[in-house]
Amino acid sequence: MKKKTLTQYLVEQQRENQLVSADLRLLLEVVSRACKSIGHAVSKGALGGVLGNQGSENVQGEAQKKLDVISNDILLEANAWGGLLAAMASEEMDTIHKIPSHYPKGEYLLLFDPLDGSSNIDVNVSIGTIFSILKAPEGIKDREATEEDFLQAGRKQVAAGYALYGPQTLLVLTIGNGVVAFTLDRELGSWVLTQDNIRIPEDTKEFSINMSNLRHWDEPIKRYIEDCLAGETGPRGKNFNMRWVASMVAEVHRILQRGGIFMYPWDKREPNKPGKLRLMYEANPMSMLVEQAGGAAVDTVNPILDIQPTHIHQRVSVILGSKNEVETVKTYFK
């Protein structure tokens, strides 16, 4: 079977299905090339001098790793000059990154978590890049972009995806017509289509949550996990397995491949914050992928993609994965 590259796939979606514009196709190719560069830096590890802490904190007050900063810079530099974007926003930056005045501006907005799973960088466990693309408001080319331009509900995303840097380097993508996966062919330097129309099983016996936070959880999550742990003699009537990688990219990828449910709920450690994960950089793009693959994603009750953001660094509780299991968790909150 002839290999289909990312470029071929996107050209087909543009020509035959009119699902992407020429500019969106080019933007996705630029982002994918940036992910290849990040993957190359990740693979060098200690040999490239990229491991360890940067000695600074991001806007969230979290210690930055060297690869966090390197990945952020790669994405900014790759996307600044092409005339496809009006502005960018990153989990690692205080505010939006405007396109320099000497470059042309485009009609799209790019948001990204440049390197998800930072705690795994130095121990050689899978990490990744998450990205989300929005259409900028009308007239954006005639004025400077603002943070308010980014404050769009997740339903308005025109594309979303992630790169996973693990045993294989993968690119998982949706343009609103299902979910596809590409594997990086290192010999050719090309992203090659390896999975089409990915579907998440509706039922599962596997959950993913950081059990060390149990004492901080809200009662509905505690009851749900207790019922899962009770196994086939408990109210759920089946035995569950637990997984936890501490990298959202790896967790969601596992769910896309074999089902499961991922949970990062509100807890009492920071009661004034609705959750730990970022709505714009993590929850929205992952929720779009999960819904496009037949799964569900909620903030305990409401669909994440329906949330109207009020700040670019807004946080949210996240429960996503196999559709029927997400519906079961919702009943504990109701």
Q: Do 124 and 45 form a contact (C-beta atoms < 8 A)?
A: yes
Burial annotation 288-312 (CB, 10 A radius, 16+ → b, else e): bbbbbbbbbbbbbeebbbebebeeb
Annotated binding residue 12: no
Determine whether the annotation assigns residue 116 to a binding site.
yes
SS3 state at 300: coil
Strand partners of residue 120: none
Any idea which residue has 């509100």 for tokens?
A: 266
| Rounded (to 5) percent helix, strand, coil in the chain | 40, 25, 35
124 has binding-site annotation:
no
Q: Is 306 annotated as a binding residue?
A: no
Tell me: is residue 119 an annotated ligand-binding position.
yes
Q: Does 17 carry a binding-site annotation?
A: no
117 is in an annotated binding site: yes
Cβ atoms of residues 148 and 63 within 8 Å: no
Instruction: Write phi, then psi, for 75 (nearest 5 degrees).
Output: -70, -40
SS (H, E, C) 115-150: EECHHHHHHCCCEEEEEEEEECCCCHHHCCCCHHHH
User: Of 111, 66, 107, 119, whose CA–CA distance to 91 is shortest?
Assistant: 111
Tell me how far CA of residue 125 lies from CA of 35, 251, 320, in angstroms. 17, 12, 22
Burial class (CB in 10 A: 0-12, 13-18, 19+), 234: middle
Residue 276 annotated as part of some ligand binding site: yes
Residues whose CB is less than 8 angstroms from the CB of residue 283 and which lie 6 or more positions away in sequence, other chains included = 154, 277, 297, 304, 316, 318
Q: Is 161 annotated as a binding residue?
A: no
Ligand-binding annotation for 268, yes or no, is no
H or E stretch at 252: helix 248-258
Residues in binding site for Mg(2+): 91, 113, 115-116, 282
Residues in binding site for substrate: 116-119, 210, 276
Residues in binding site: 91, 113, 115-119, 210, 276, 282
